[in-house]
Chain A
Amino acid sequence: MDSVTVSIESLQEFQVQEVSLDGQETYTKPLSMSESLAKLAHKIDFTKPEGEEIDGALADEDKDTKKADVKEESPAVQAVQWPWESVHSKLRCALTEISVLSDILHICRWAKDPRYMVLDPVSQEPTQSKQIIQLLDKKKSLGVAASVLKSGANRMMRQPLNATTASPQKSQHQNDFHADLLRLRQHWRLKKVGSNILGDLSFRTAGSRFWHNGTFEVTKITDVDCDATEKKNVTPLKVTIPSDIEGTSHIQVLIQEGEAEIATASLSQPSRSRVSADAHWQERLEAAQTVLFCKEVFAQIAREAVQLRSPVPHIVVGNQIFCTLFPGVRLCLALCHNTSMDSQVGTQSYRTGLKCRYHLGYQSTSSFDFRLGIEPLRQPNHSHALEHSLHQLLRELHRSNLSGTTPRPITASLTVSKKRRLAGPQAISRKELTDSQQGECLLEKVLKQAKHIVLRKRVADVINQLSSDLQDPVILVHWSAHTQPLVSTAKIHISTSGYEQMAMILLQLTVEVDQIRVLCKDGRVIHANYEQQQLKDLLRCQISQHQIACVFSLSKSMNMHVLHYNLHLGVGSASKLGNASSVLISTHHGQRTLAVRSDPLNGIRVQVKGCKNPHDTEQKSNVVTDPKWETIMTDYREVDMDRIPGRTFVNKMELLMAVLAS
């Protein structure tokens, strides 16, 4: 098939202008380009706004043609001289209007002299909204809200009716979760982040600046098995605690004496309390908070232990810190964390630290016999006081972080202390200011308390041992009931039983952190340090002087003459400890003399002069018959105090004096 050629040509349809008599049609010429442009431009009405031009083109065309006809008809005078005439005139009108506006604006706004024209805002009348419409609007929106609430309430009310039919546990489950959540919110701070409910275990709001944020998550247990719900204590609320603060923990403080090695200190002993994973969320959360607190305490102490400079440096090993209190006495602090969830004795537990066991091991003469470090089954005597004070100190630190003194006047700086603010006007010296600013850190405070505890125990031990060894002067000690963490006081009475009126030693002991202050009756103040021997020596000296003082006052009541009384004797062999004291007494008839010398270490020696030795046979002379001549040349003879009957030394002395005086 051949392709068919199709030719396209425009219709030659032009408007017929006239038909001549001979049938010839005269067509109107088609408009040339410029003519058609003129025609279109003529159609643009510059007085109308643009939007109205777009719609209804046909209607506009009709209107335009009508207007064109009207314009052509009425002002016959205005002959269309050139096709652009109307456009030109319209533009000219527009230009006139614009220039008028511009002139007005110039005169109003930018003229130097505002006398001629001023722009003022026109107050608009407030639009009065019809109140009835507003009322109807509100009624409609409230109706919509009410319908939503009502449908929800109906659904909830219908639920108990469905209890017998579908998933009874589920609805109860639902109620339990929200009720539990309410109870949880009463104890802990919760917040909703996205779709999760998070809680806060940390002490941030109390002033802590620990790095751990302590957030726990609260979720709902979605799958409900029938077996689980039969138990009464199952709640659909599940609390997820971060693994590093789960379980229980406590700080153990151990004061060790002797040469125990570090290795033996880390005994595996179960922690005090245990919380299983099935416990109620309140228990678990409280335990976790304690764990966090203990962690913070330990971190603070460890940091200070590393930074502090002390004569014997502190050792920090893993979860243990060793500090030297006195030579031979060591304080061990440890963080014991038990994460095991089963009830067995810590087989799977993650055990770390030291215990706070207050444990003393005398090696030499002691009635207590501990074997250092081997106490597998014995529950250690934890020093609760020290642990409690650790907790309290950290809480104080938190409080000081949080609150300071109010700046007065209120615009003063918030962060400096009141003393620093008033340092200027009060003329405080630089030294005073620096001293007051350097506070003690946590570890130093704990060390002081521990030292005090050790010292107090030592003093008590010394006195108890001495009082059990020596029965002759009775040693009584009264410890003051009011004690402070760093100072304790005690009163010591030493007296001979039966002869309390004769002489008594009163000593006031003040046990401080590093030393013991002893106040004697005569006003002397003696400082003893942590060595136990010093206190023992002091007491021994006092006792020896006491015996002599007793004899002295006894002799006065026995009507004997005191020839010599000296508490610090300068004759005879020097005593190795303190001073020897002595008293020289003679009977009222002067025939016999009693010499007593007391040495703190060597005991008491009693010698008598004027007693005839019965074994000494001398020839009696007939010339010298007065018995007094027989006693002149006698020597001092020692008395064996053991063979003299009497309960105490003073008792014996009384008997002796009575015998001599007769």
Chain B
Amino acid sequence: MTSSLPGVNLSNLASSSVPSLQEFVLQGSVVDSACDALLHRLRALCDNVDRAPETFQDHEMVYLLRTSGPGNPVVLRARHARDQHNMPWNYSYFCFDLNAPSFFRQLRYLGQSDISDKSRLVTVRSYLDCSTSEQLPQFLTDIGFRLDHEFVAKGHMFRKGKMKVTITKIFKILTPGNLEALEPLSISQLVELSIIAPSGTDGIGEDMRAFAEQLRPLVSMEKI
């Protein structure tokens, strides 16, 4: 999988052996006080009823590269999980710090949402991602990207077949560099339904809509 950098045309990628992926997204929001009811409902609707929902804590940094000439700047997202502890493969210490965060980061590119088809029920945008080592921020800065903003996302994840449902609370980082001082961005949580599938897959929008209908009175999911 290659990541998209300025100068690489996405249409070239489509013809190569790398499958071009698309992300189908529906978003909604729920107030903090109503979050518990939503969690209960999702727990019953989604897979793995007997297990507690997965929680996650991620730190995401959004990088921008302004291209000379007209057009929107390229946006790349670097994200890593703060609550996972991976032993690095070249680990040579006898004791390692359990509080050390994960060593692997994820680089993600999200294209503009495709507005050509007005009748489509969900937002569709092109999606590219790859897993990288921990030097990703340094690498991006060296290439020429500038850090635009960063945030910490905490929440729960559910899965239903191919679909991923996340309920995220986004936190603002008060002082850059210190990831402990966080402040919630708003009093509500972001609910997102997403499926990542090769481009051209049909029927996904209908399935997602049908699922979103079941969450109806608690949260109404819309296209972006």
Contact = CB atoms under 8 A, between A and B. Distances in A.
Given A408-B56, A413-B129, A414-B159, A403 B47 contact: yes
Q: How large is the interface on A (under 10, 10 to 19, 20 to 34, 35 or more residues)?
A: 10 to 19
B163 to A, nearest CB: 8
A452 B162 CA distance: 38
B210 to A, nearest CB: 16
Nearest to A412: B106
B166 A412 contact: no
Contacts of B86: 422
Interface in B137-176: 153, 155, 157, 159, 162, 164, 166
Most B CB contacts (10 A, CB to CB) among A404, A410, A415 go to A410
Contacts of A402: 47-48
B220 interface: no
Most B CB contacts (10 A, CB to CB) among A403, A408, A411, A412 go to A411
A421 B84 CA distance: 15
Interface in B44-72: 47-48, 54, 56, 58, 60
B131 A411 contact: no
Interface string A395-432: 00000001110111111111100000111111000000
A403 B48 contact: yes
Contact of B102 (A408, A415, A423, A424): A408
Nearest to B105: A409
B162 A411 contact: no
Nearest to B1: A424
Nearest to A425: B133
A434 to B, nearest CB: 15
A414 B131 contact: no
A interface majority secondary structure: loop
Contact of A411 (B48, B58, B89, B133): B58
A209 to B, nearest CB: 11
Interface in B1-57: 1, 21, 47-48, 54, 56
B162 A409 contact: no
B196 interface: yes
Given A424-B1, A425-B131, A426-B89, A410 B104 contact: no
A402 to B, nearest CB: 6
B209 interface: no
A408 B79 CA distance: 9
A412 B58 contact: no
Interface of A: 402-404, 406-415, 421-426
Given A410-B166, A414-B164, 16 more contacts: A402-B47, A402-B48, A406-B157, A408-B81, A408-B84, A409-B56, A409-B106, A410-B153, A412-B129, A413-B21, A413-B129, A413-B196, A415-B196, A422-B86, A422-B131, A424-B1
21 contacts: A406-B56, A406-B157, A407-B164, A408-B56, A408-B84, A409-B56, A409-B79, A409-B80, A409-B81, A410-B157, A410-B166, A411-B106, A411-B108, A412-B131, A413-B21, A414-B159, A414-B196, A422-B86, A424-B1, A424-B132, A425-B104
